[in-house]
Amino acid sequence: MDCGTCETTGPMVVVQPDEIQVELTMSDKATEMLQQAFGDDRSHALLVGVLSGGCSGYMYDLQIVETTDTACQELTINGFRVLVPSASSHLLNGIEIDYVDRMMGGGFKINNPNASSSCGCGESFA
């Protein structure tokens, strides 16, 4: 509803980034941890995605999946199927998937050369 007293704005333009062919690497430690998680079953894949949110704008989203309805690029890295959503390809190209041990447990860590900044926890980036 337009009351006629305010300027109206034009339509919002949404720019969708071009899909790029993703290249990524996985550290030996991350490969070892995936081997423990997957065992000999290679019917599942590691889905490496990006969600809006976190303290820096985006958050990494890693899931083990059988299938997904999301359009993805499928890569084989160190013998594992890795799925990267096409819509996130520009944010994830060139990343390294690593695994770090911490005093309070370990976890996967993404080293992203595309990130202009990241938060202290390492789980979000801009």
| pLDDT, tens digit (0-9, with 9 covering 90-100), for 55-90 | 657 888 999 999 999 999 999 999 999 999 999 999
Q: Bridge-partner residues for 63, per DSSP?
A: 47
Looking at the domain assignment, is residue 7 inside a domain? no
Token digits of residue 64: 């083990």
Looking at the domain assignment, is residue 105 inside a domain? yes
pLDDT > 70? residue 18: yes
Looking at the domain assignment, is residue 12 inside a domain? no
What is the percentage of the chain residues whose pLDDT exceeds 90?
Answer: 48
Q: Bridge-partner residues for 97, per DSSP?
A: 26, 110
Looking at the domain assignment, is residue 85 inside a domain? yes
Question: What integer pLDDT is reported at residue 4 of this predicted model?
Answer: 63
pTM, whole model, 2 decimals?
Answer: 0.78
Mean pLDDT of the chain: 84
pLDDT > 80? residue 96: yes
Domain extent, residue 86, equals 25-125
Looking at the domain assignment, is residue 69 inside a domain? yes
Total structural domains within the chain: 1
Question: What integer pLDDT is reported at residue 123 of this predicted model?
Answer: 54
Mean of pLDDT values over 9-18 = 74
Looking at the domain assignment, is residue 8 inside a domain? no
Looking at the domain assignment, is residue 13 inside a domain? no
Looking at the domain assignment, is residue 2 inside a domain? no
Mean of pLDDT values over 30-46 = 92
Question: What integer pLDDT is reported at residue 5 of this predicted model?
Answer: 66
Question: What integer pLDDT is reported at residue 3 of this predicted model?
Answer: 64
Instruction: Report the CATH number that the domain containing residue 117 is assigned in CATH.
Output: 2.60.300.12
The answer to whether 76 and 60 are in contact (CB under 8 A) is: no
Q: CA 70, 112, 114, 94 torsion: positive or negative?
A: negative
The answer to whether 6 and 22 are in contact (CB under 8 A) is: no
Mean of pLDDT values over 7-29 = 83
